[in-house]
Amino acid sequence: MTSTRSATLFALALLAPALIYILTIVAYPLVDTIILSFTNASLRPGYDFIGWANYERIFGAGNFTEVIVRTFIWTFFSVSLKMIIGMAGAVLLNAAIPGQIVFRILTMPPWIVPMAIGIFMWGWMYNGQFGMISGLLQNFGITNGPIAWLAYGETAFWATIITDVWIGVPMVTIYFLAAMQSIPRDLHEAAWTDGAGRFYRFRRITVPLMVPAIITMSLLSLIATFNSFDIIWILTQGGPSGSTTTMIIDTYKTAMGSRRYGEGAARAVVISLFVTAFCIVYFRAVRKLQQGEAK
Amino acid sequence: MSDVARSTEVAAADSKASVQTQPKAKARRGLWSASRPMIDRYSLLEVIGLYAGIALFLFFVLAPFIEGFLVSLKPLAQLFSTPYSFIPKNGSFAAYFSMWESVPALGMHIFNSFFISTVVTAIVVAIVVPAAYAFARFNFTGAGLLLAGFLAVNMFSGAVLLIPLFRLMRTLGLLNTYWAMIVPGAAFLIPSSVWLLRTYMMRIPRELDEAAWVDGASRLYTLRRVILPLAMPGVVVVAIMTFIGAYAQQFIFALTFNSKTEFMPLPVGLFAFFGKQEVIWNELMAASFVGILPVMIVIVFLQSYLVAGLTAGAVKQ
């Protein structure tokens, strides 16, 4: 194509709608968050700049570091379980057995159903008196009395993780399955000819070749999980007594519950800093993987 | 079913753009038939283990739906009784009829969910097609940086930006309208769609653009008449992925930016079943199933596109 200048102009014209849209709806609010975090904005019209006071307050209160630590633990377990169960699911669905296609379709519902609906169903399952989990455990005589999973800090923490895993697993499974199928079959056949068993082939062929997919998926999953809001909000609203309050929930409560916009914005900025750090790791990893592929 | 199977394979193979061909129809051969490749033969114990594993996996995935369906069949009095019984006694579909009276706006909520997702999809596709083409074909200065910027948007959830977005919606006068849910909803779906479609368009040979150029076609004409028709399968994948994203994740904006019952999508509208005294669980579950059924049926037929969309985005590139 000729004349790079007109080509550039044309490209920019094509990009303009997307650019303007993102700048207005994402970039501007991001900048606004940073500005707000240095103010005492609330429901009242107008606000004053108060310097670092919001940051001093949230880090001075002590429970904010607790929230950060909790968020990381919650995210760590959720992402790890998604990866492990997703990998197991991919292996199972990859086996050449009748019914394969049906099983794959049956894996998808948690991903495509509105999240809130799936979460309502889990909410009922966790009910101590009438829910399925407590009910079946009692019917089989494993536990004596009812267990209200969402009523205690410890169990509510794990209950929200399990629901988050449930929503994330289909995507991870299908992604891993696709990565698994792109491994050349010749490799497996060659190893098989040499007498390598199934488990050995999985460990020495499948897993090493899936490392890029595993890294990509776990980072994407990490970012999504870190930002997870709906599940905790619908199941526990951060309770009981703050045991499931992650950073997002904490920010939402401060901003939308107490209407302390300035302080909420400061909390949002801290989240954004963590997310930016994940981003940088992600881009680095992707670049490294691509370079590795090129060699 | 074999049609679905075939299209899955085609879509999967296509999305990888690989030269290697998948062995066709391995799932359709009998487990112990002689035509089955030796490497795919399992011992009886392995087969039992595989099916047991799949059963366990699918039970985890589907348990809430099974429980939800059984709950929708149980009368409310039985729901709130102990001891727990998994199977409904004298179950009926009564809740599927009474729910329309308990929450008169239910039909509206179901429609709203569908409507919001459809408009979001239309906006995203209209914005993403030209943008993806620009990223796929033109190496202008700063293109890489701009693309990275787009992808970074993906990392911020709406929840983090809720406060300024709320203020922005208030300034624009969009609070308590459909647009309060549509506008921010679309913004967070644009970046990954740009990425997906760009990947797809990069596979269309550049020679086609150049041939059109030589023949005197304008750039816009080339995009419209040469590239767009060829990229149509990719556009369809993007549209479906966007729709699912808009449909499955509509909650936080609807919860925060809209308080009018007539505009609420299903996930928020369902809170109407949370009464002051008790939650009408059987009707809540019945409403959930009726609400998602139309989309579910469509998705079953389109599932191969979902797989293609998920894989094309990231495995390669």
Q: Which H or E element spans position B56?
A: helix B44-73
Asked if residue A283 belongs to a domain, the reply is yes
Tell me how close the Cα of B257 comes to any Cα of chain A, in angstroms.
11
Boundary-marking domain end, from B101, B132, B159: B101
Asked if residue B36 belongs to a domain, the reply is yes
What is the pLDDT at residue B269? 86
Structure tokens that stand for A269 in this block:
């900025």
B248 with A114: Cβ contact below 8 A: yes
Give the Å distances, CA to CA, from A96 to A93, B30, B39, B44, B103: 8, 10, 10, 14, 47
Q: Residue B253: which CATH number?
A: 1.10.3720.10
Give the Å distances, CA to CA, from A251 to A227, A243, B159, B182: 11, 15, 8, 23
CB of A100 less than 8 A from some CB of B: yes
* Residues of chain B with C-beta less than 8 angstroms from the C-beta of A109: 61-62, 65, 296
The four Cα atoms B11, B16, B19, B24 give a dihedral, to 10 degrees, of -40
What is the pLDDT at residue B82? 67
pLDDT average, residue stretch A15-37: 89
Interface probe, candidates B1, B28, B51, B84, chain A, greatest A C-beta count within 10 A:
B84
Asked if residue B148 belongs to a domain, the reply is yes
Interface probe, candidates A107, A164, A218, A229, chain B, greatest B C-beta count within 10 A:
A229
Asked if residue A22 belongs to a domain, the reply is no
- Higher pLDDT residue, B130 or A197? B130
Segments of chain B with pLDDT less than 50: 1-28, 314-317
The runs of H, that is alpha helices, within B173-271 are 179-187, 190-202, 206-214, 219-222, 228-248, 252-257, 266-269
pLDDT average, residue stretch A159-164: 93
Asked if residue A259 belongs to a domain, the reply is yes
Identify which of B160, B190, B311 has the shortest CB distance to residue A22: B190
Question: How many of the other CB atoms lie within 10 Å of CB of B104?
Answer: 10
Mean pLDDT of chain A: 84
Residues B231, B260, single domain; the answer is: yes
Residues B299, B151, single domain; the answer is: yes
What is the pLDDT at residue A165? 95
Percent of chain A with pLDDT over 70: 98
What is the pLDDT at residue B129? 93
- Residue of chain A with shortest Cα separation from B297: A109
A1 with B57: Cβ contact below 8 A: no
| Degrees, nearest 5: CA angle B83-B88-B90 | 115
Q: Which domain holds residue A202?
A: 64-294
Per-residue pLDDT tens digits for A56-105 = 888 877 788 888 899 999 999 999 999 999 999 999 988 878 888 888 88
Asked if residue B239 belongs to a domain, the reply is yes
B190 with A18: Cβ contact below 8 A: yes
pLDDT average, residue stretch A18-27: 90
Q: Which domain holds residue B96?
A: 27-101
Burial B275-291 (b: 16+ CB within 10 A, else e): eeeebbbbbbbbbbbbb
Question: How many of the other CB atoms lie within 10 Å of CB of A114?
Answer: 25
Boundary-marking domain end, from B76, B101, B126: B101
Residues B89, B154, single domain; the answer is: no
- Residue of chain A with shortest Cα separation from B279: A124
Boundary-marking domain end, from B48, B73, B101: B101
Residues B94, B112, single domain; the answer is: no
* Residues of chain B with C-beta less than 8 angstroms from the C-beta of A278: 155
CB of B241 less than 8 A from some CB of A: no
Structure tokens that stand for A194 in this block:
């040499």
Asked if residue A223 belongs to a domain, the reply is yes
* Residues of chain B with C-beta less than 8 angstroms from the C-beta of A268: 160-163
Structural domains of chain A, count: 1
Identify which of A102, A216, A255 has the shortest CB distance to residue B314: A216
Residues B88, B234, single domain; the answer is: no
Asked if residue B84 belongs to a domain, the reply is yes
Residues B32, B68, single domain; the answer is: yes
Residues B96, B111, single domain; the answer is: no
What is the C-alpha to C-alpha distance for residues B98 and B80, in angstroms, rounded to an integer? 18
Q: Residue A194: which CATH number?
A: 1.10.3720.10
Residues B115, B225, single domain; the answer is: yes
Structural domains of chain B, count: 2
CB of A272 less than 8 A from some CB of B: yes
Asked if residue B18 belongs to a domain, the reply is no
Tell me how close the Cα of A34 comes to any Cα of chain B, in angstroms.
10
Residues B149, B229, single domain; the answer is: yes
Asked if residue A36 belongs to a domain, the reply is no
Print the SS3 string covering A148-203.
CCCCCHHHHHHHHHHHHHHHHHHHHHHHHHHHHHCCCHHHHHHHHHCCCCHHHHHH
Give the Å distances, CA to CA, from A122 to A143, A236, B174: 20, 12, 33
What is the C-alpha to C-alpha distance for residues A110 and B309, in angstroms, rounded to an integer? 17
A113 with B154: Cβ contact below 8 A: no
Residues B136, B151, single domain; the answer is: yes
What is the pLDDT at residue B60? 92
* Residues of chain A with C-beta less than 8 angstroms from the C-beta of B286: none
Interface pTM, i.e. ipTM: 0.85
pLDDT average, residue stretch A197-207: 85
Per-residue pLDDT tens digits for B12-64 = 444 444 334 444 444 445 666 666 776 777 788 888 989 999 999 999 999 99
* Residues of chain A with C-beta less than 8 angstroms from the C-beta of B30: 98
Asked if residue B13 belongs to a domain, the reply is no
CB of A237 less than 8 A from some CB of B: no
Structure tokens that stand for A209 in this block:
């070749």
Longest Cα–Cα distance of chain A, Å, equals 79
> Which range is least confidently modeled, A175-179, A279-283, B13-17, B53-57?
B13-17
Phi (first) and psi of residue A283, to 5 degrees: -65, -40
Q: In chain B, which among 107-136 make CB contacts under 8 A with chain A? A: 113, 126-128, 130-131, 133-135
What is the pLDDT at residue B7? 40
A129 with B256: Cβ contact below 8 A: no
Asked if residue A165 belongs to a domain, the reply is yes
What is the pLDDT at residue B118? 92
What is the pLDDT at residue B61? 92
Let me know: does B133 contact B223? Beta carbons within 8 Å. Answer: yes
Residues B141, B57, single domain; the answer is: no
Residues B207, B114, single domain; the answer is: yes
What is the pLDDT at residue B14? 42
> Residue holding tokens 């910027």?
B149
pLDDT average, residue stretch A181-196: 83
B61 with A121: Cβ contact below 8 A: no
pTM for the structure as a whole: 0.83
Q: Count chain A–chain B contacts defined by CB atoms under 8 A.
A: 314
